[in-house]
Amino acid sequence: MWPYHPDLLRRPVPRYTSYPTAAEFRPVGEDHVLENAVAAIPEGAEISLYLHIPYCNTICHYCACNTGRANRQKRLQAYIDALLAEIRIMGELLTSKHVVKRIAFGGGSPNAISTQEFAHLIAALKDSFHVDRAEISVELDPRDFDGEWAAMLGQSGVTHASMGVQTFSAEVQQVIGRVQPYETIASAMSQLRAHGVQSINFDMMYGLPGQTGQDLSDSLDKTIELRPERIALFGYAHLPQRIARQRRMDTSIMANQLQRFAMSSLGYQTLVRAGYEAIGFDHFALPDDPMAVAARAGEVSRNFQGYTHDPSPWLLGMGATAISLFPDRILQNEKNVGAWRNAVSTGRLTASLGVHRTSRDEAHRQIIEDILCRGEAEIGGLDGAETYAERLASFEQRGLIERDDGHITCTDSATPYLRTIAAIFDPYRHNSKGGFSSAI
Ligand code: SF4
**With 80 as the cut, is the pLDDT of residue 31 above it?**
no
pLDDT band at 29 (very low <50, low <70, confident <90, very high): confident
Ligand 1 pocket check for 45: Cβ under 6 Å:
no
Between CA 187 and CA 146 the distance in angstroms is 9
Going by CA atoms, what residue is nearest to atom 8 of ligand 1? 63
Taking the centre of ligand 1 as the mean of its atom positions, its distance from the CA of residue 205, in whole angstroms, is: 13
pLDDT band at 157 (very low <50, low <70, confident <90, very high): very high
Q: How many CB atoms lie within 10 A of CB 413?
A: 14
Task: Specify the ligand 1 atom closest to the Cα of 58.
Answer: 5
109 Cβ inside 6 Å of ligand 1: yes
Q: Residue 96: what pLDDT?
A: 66
141, with CB counted inside 10 A (0-12, 13-18, 19+), is: buried
> What are the pLDDT digits (tens) for 59-75?
999 999 988 898 888 99
User: What share of the chain in percent tops pLDDT 90?
Assistant: 88
Q: What is the pLDDT of residues 167-225, one digit of tens each?
A: 999 999 999 999 999 999 999 999 999 999 989 999 999 999 999 999 999 999 999 99
Q: Hey, whose CA ends up nearest to atom 2 of ligand 1?
A: 108
State whether the beta carbon of 59 lies less than 6 angstroms from ligand 1: yes
Distance, CA of 37 to CA of 41 (rounded, Å): 7
CB 144 near ligand 1, within 6 Å: no
The protein residue whose alpha carbon is closest to atom 5 in ligand 1 is 59
The C-alpha atoms of residue 240 and residue 166 are separated, in whole angstroms, by: 19
Q: Residue 25 pLDDT more than 90? A: yes
Cα(388)–Cα(367) distance, integer angstroms: 12
| Cα 63 to ligand 1 centre (Å) | 6
> Reduced to 3 states, what is the DSSP secondary structure of residue 242?
coil
Q: Which residues are annotated as a binding site for [4Fe-4S] cluster?
A: 56, 60, 63
Q: What is the mean pLDDT of residues 44-60?
A: 96
Task: Report the CATH architecture of 359-429.
Answer: Orthogonal Bundle (1.10)
Alpha-carbon distances of 291 from 189, 299, 336, rounded to whole Å: 19, 9, 33
Closest Cα to atom 6 of ligand 1:
60
Residues 364 and 378: their CA atoms lie apart, in Å, by: 10
For 60-118, how does the pLDDT look when each residue is reduced to its tens digit (9 = 90+)?
Answer: 999 999 888 988 889 999 999 999 999 999 999 987 679 999 999 999 999 999 999 99
First to last CA, the chain: 14
Q: Atom 7 in ligand 1: which residue has the minimum CA distance?
A: 63
Q: Which residues are annotated as a binding site?
A: 50, 56, 60, 62-64, 107, 139, 166, 178, 203, 237, 323
**Domain boundaries along the sequence of the chain:** 23-356, 359-429
Say which residue, 12 or 434, is predicted with more confidence.
12
Q: What is the mean pLDDT of the chain?
A: 94
- Tell me if 23-356 shares its fold with 359-429: no
Task: Check residue 430 and give its pLDDT.
Answer: 79
CA of 151 to the centre of ligand 1 (A): 23
pLDDT score at 350: 83
| Ligand 1 pocket check for 108: Cβ under 6 Å | yes
Q: What percent of the chain has pLDDT over 70?
A: 99
At residue 323, the 3 state secondary structure works out as strand
- Under CATH, which architecture does the 23-356 domain have? Alpha-Beta Horseshoe (3.80)
User: How many angstroms separate the Cα of 29 from the Cα of each of 200, 256, 351, 353, 354?
Assistant: 40, 43, 10, 9, 9
Between 257-273 and 213-226, two packed helices, what is the crossing angle to 10 degrees? 20
DSSP 8-state assignment for residue 156: T
